[in-house]
């Protein structure tokens, strides 16, 4: 896998610090798991965080904290048993995704379908798998919020270049783009989206009311 | 101007007298309670301090510190000093437990009494995989040391202590615009150094 498009560094630093909301953390995490370059960056921030932990002013904890910890350790050594994977044995999905419950595929437009990913509800962004037919021209669209896209299979291209497996595309409301899906096969992307997707143009206005992205 | 003293890793400074990695190793191999107690006394109050700085309530910070220490006991055998410094490893455990805490709470609010969903899986697994991907932790530590003290400080304040930019400007006595540009420069510099080292 040759990855040529990476998340912005600030996003990686927020990921390393644990600041990202769930949908964004998921998309960045799947990229980082496959991208040694970004994994190094994340690890560097974690090292800085470790140094910060060493330097921080200690704050007294409850006097019985150690004893309580020891009794919890001895009480339940079973607590660590691994929970079942939510998506079971779907090995076509990246490992980080397999622990999420993923909804049924829903057709949203000709050649375009999505599967929602069930998140905890702690954040504002939604996450879903978006599948586009090979060679299709996706509808010209604008975002009202931010959109993080990671290619899992196939490819798409827009004015920013070509995006293949592992490539990360960061879109915000400034961008008005119209990706074209590669001919080699369907394009499956993991998407985190805040706000709504606005479909532009006549066709968009026509089908807009039916598209619930 | 805040004194920008930063000790990276355990290779320098007076703190290097305690070998945390060795203590974690003793917990892993012998379930050594005394070694664990030393880790607990050092790190639990610091985890609490860092979580408070990052915006947790006192109760949340205490709970995360407690759960992090229990996780250190249980995961001690997974710690590999070749891939990460002990404080960085402990930070990733605390970070993941904080994420878990807020998500569990959101899920509980949403589902109320519904207990149908499985427990939140172990987020730390992902971090462990990340850690094991890059074997040369020393190289990364060397890269970090090439950041200027100013750059390391602004990264720490912004991302790890999660302070808002205007507050960072006040703390460091620099204009707001300089905070933003310094963060950007630090990000680029770190990326460049790591790319050169690769």
Instruction: With cut-offs at 50, 70 and 90, classify the pLDDT of residue A56.
Output: very high
Residue A177 bridge partners (DSSP)? A141
Q: Are residues B125 and B36 in the same domain?
A: yes
Indicate whether A209 pLDDT > 50.
no
**Nearest beta carbon to residue B70 from set A42, A69, A101:** A69
Final residue belonging to a domain, choices B103, B134, B165: B134
Regarding whether B185 and B148 lie in a shared domain, the answer is: yes
Least confident of A56-65, A109-118, A188-197, B50-59: A188-197
Average the pLDDT over each of A162-171, B60-69, B110-119 and give the range with the smallest value.
B110-119
pLDDT at B181: 95
pTM of the model: 0.83
Q: What is the pLDDT of residue B84?
A: 81
Confidence of residue B134 (pLDDT cuts 50, 70, 90): very low
Which residues of chain A does B49 touch, with a Cβ-Cβ cutoff of 8 Å? 56-59
What pLDDT is recorded for position A174?
A: 60
Selecting from A40, A49, A95 the residue whose C-beta is nearest the C-beta of B198 gives A40
| Number of domain units in chain B | 2
Whether residue B98 is found in the same domain as residue B172: no
Q: Are residues B90 and B180 in the same domain?
A: no
Mean of all residue pLDDT scores within chain A = 83
Give the pLDDT band (50/70/90) at residue B138. confident
Cβ pairs A/B, distance under 8 A: 198
Written as one string, the DSSP assignment of chain A is --------HHHHHHHHHT-S-HHHHHHHHHHHHH-HHHHHHHHHHHHHHHHHHHHSPP----TTHHHHHHHHHHH-GGGGPPPPPTTTT-TTS-HHHHTS-B---EEEETTEEEEEE---S-SS-EEEEEEE-TT-BPPPEEESS-EEEEEEES-EEETTEEE-TT-EEEE-TT-EE--EE-TTS-EEEEEEE-S-EEE-HHHHHHHGGG---
Question: Looking at A10-14, B15-19, B84-88, which range is the least confident one?
Answer: B15-19
Domain limits at B69? 20-134
A52 with B70: Cβ contact below 8 A: no
pLDDT confidence band for A147 (50 / 70 / 90): confident
- Do residues A109 and A207 lie in contact, with contact meaning Cβ atoms separated by under 8 Å? yes
CATH number of the domain enclosing A27: 2.60.120.10
- Kindly state whether residue B141 falls inside one of the protein's structural domains: yes
Count of structural domains within chain A: 1
Beta strands A180-181; A156-158: pairing state: antiparallel
- Domain identity same for B150 and B127: no
Query: Same domain for B191 and B105?
Result: no
Q: Give the range of the structural domain holding residue A119, as residue numbers without chain letter.
A: 1-213
How confident is the model over A6-37, as pLDDT tens digits? 999 999 999 999 999 999 999 999 999 999 99
What does the pLDDT read at residue B106?
81
- Cβ atoms of A166 and A151 closer than 8 Å: yes
> Could you tell me if B111 and B25 lie in one domain?
yes
State the pairing for strand pair A197-199/A141-143.
Answer: antiparallel
Do residue B66 and residue B55 come from a single domain? Answer: yes
Q: Which CATH number fits the domain that encloses residue B157?
A: 1.10.10.10
Is B9 inside a domain boundary? no
What chain B residue is nearest to A37 in terms of C-alpha separation? Answer: B195
Tell me the nearest-neighbour CA distance from A18 into chain B, angstroms. Answer: 6
> Using an 8 Å Cβ cutoff, are A44 and B144 in contact?
yes
Nearest of B119, B155, B184 to residue B8 by alpha carbon:
B155
Residue A185 to residue A153: CA distance in whole angstroms: 8
| Same domain assignment for residues B159 and B71 | no
Q: What's the mean pLDDT when you consider all of chain B?
A: 82
pLDDT at A136: 82
The answer to whether position B105 is within a domain reads yes
Long-range contacts from A86-95, C-beta under 8 angstroms, 24+ separation: A86/A118, A86/B117, A86/B118, A86/B121, A93/A152, A94/A30, A94/A33, A94/A34, A94/A152, A94/A190, A95/A33, A95/B129
């Amino acid at each position: 896998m040759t990855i040529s498009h990476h998340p912005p560094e600030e996003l990686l630093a927020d990921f390393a610090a644990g600041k990202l909301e769930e949908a964004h953390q998921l998309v960045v995490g799947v990229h980082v798991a496959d991208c040694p370059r970004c994994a190094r960056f994340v690890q560097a921030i974690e090292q800085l965080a470790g140094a910060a932990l060493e330097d921080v002013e200690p704050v007294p904890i409850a006097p019985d904290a150690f004893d309580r910890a020891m009794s919890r350790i001895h009480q339940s050594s079973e607590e660590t048993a691994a929970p079942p994977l939510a998506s079971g044995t779907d090995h076509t999905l990246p490992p980080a995704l397999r622990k999420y419950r993923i909804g049924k595929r829903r057709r949203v437009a000709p050649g375009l379908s999505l599967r929602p990913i069930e998140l905890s509800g702690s954040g504002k962004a939604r996450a879903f798998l978006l599948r586009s037919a090979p060679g299709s021209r996706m509808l010209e669209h604008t975002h009202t919020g931010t959109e993080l896209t990671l290619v899992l299979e196939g490819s798409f291209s827009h004015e920013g270049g070509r995006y293949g497996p592992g490539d990360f595309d960061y879109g915000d409301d400034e961008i008005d783009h119209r990706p074209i899906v590669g001919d080699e096969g369907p394009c499956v992307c993991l998407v985190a989206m805040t706000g709504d997707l606005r479909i532009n143009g006549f066709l968009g206005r026509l089908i807009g009311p039916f598209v619930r992205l | 101007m805040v004194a920008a003293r930063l000790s990276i890793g355990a290779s320098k400074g007076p703190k290097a007298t305690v070998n945390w990695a060795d203590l974690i190793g003793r917990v892993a191999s012998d379930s050594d309670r005394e070694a664990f107690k030393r880790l607990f006394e050092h790190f639990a109050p610091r985890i609490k301090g860092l979580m408070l700085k990052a915006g947790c309530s006192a109760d949340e910070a205490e709970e995360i510190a407690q759960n992090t220490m229990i996780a250190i006991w249980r995961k001690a055998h997974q710690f590999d000093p070749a891939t990460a410094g002990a404080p960085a490893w402990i930070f990733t455990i605390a970070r993941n437990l904080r994420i878990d805490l807020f998500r569990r709470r959101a899920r509980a609010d949403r589902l109320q009494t519904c207990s149908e969903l499985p427990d939140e899986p172990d987020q730390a697994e992902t971090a462990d995989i990340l850690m094991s991907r890059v074997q040369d932790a020393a190289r990364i530590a060397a890269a970090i040391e090439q950041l200027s003290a100013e750059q390391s400080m602004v990264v720490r304040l912004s991302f790890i202590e999660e302070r808002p930019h205007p507050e960072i400007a006040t703390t460091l006595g620099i204009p707001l615009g300089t905070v933003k540009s310094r963060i950007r420069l630090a990000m680029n510099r770190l990326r460049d150094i790591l790319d050169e080292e690769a």
